[in-house]
Amino acid sequence: MKIRETKDMENIKDKSWKSNSQKYLKELQAFLDKAENIENEELRKEIIFQMLKCDNELTILAEEMLKKYKSDKEKSLKECEDD
């Protein structure tokens, strides 16, 4: 039995799953718009940089969780085949 990948699993391969999310992009733009109003240039850059670091860590975590989900699903299907 060949394991069929869901659309979500295909999206993680090309790494565009996040940038294709209109809701994500809207919220990111809202954050950047608000950050533009910070008058202190150094503080504004630090806040944006820190938010992007946080976003990157969440992205890595989400991708790891999706990979684990896929791996667990493959193991489960293989166990079903063996029974």
pLDDT at res. 11:
46
Domain ranges of the chain: 39-83
pLDDT at res. 14:
57
Query: Rounded to the nearest 5 degrees, what angle is found at the Cα of 67, between the Cα atoms of 79 and 3?
Result: 45
63 near 12, Cβ under 8 Å? yes
Give the pLDDT means over successive 10-residue stretches in the chain (83 positions). Answer: 45 68 93 96 96 93 91 83 71
pLDDT at res. 13:
55
Output the pTM of the full model: 0.66
pLDDT at res. 3:
39
CA distance 76 to 83: 11
Nearest to 6 by CA among 62, 68, 70, 60: 70
pLDDT at res. 48:
95
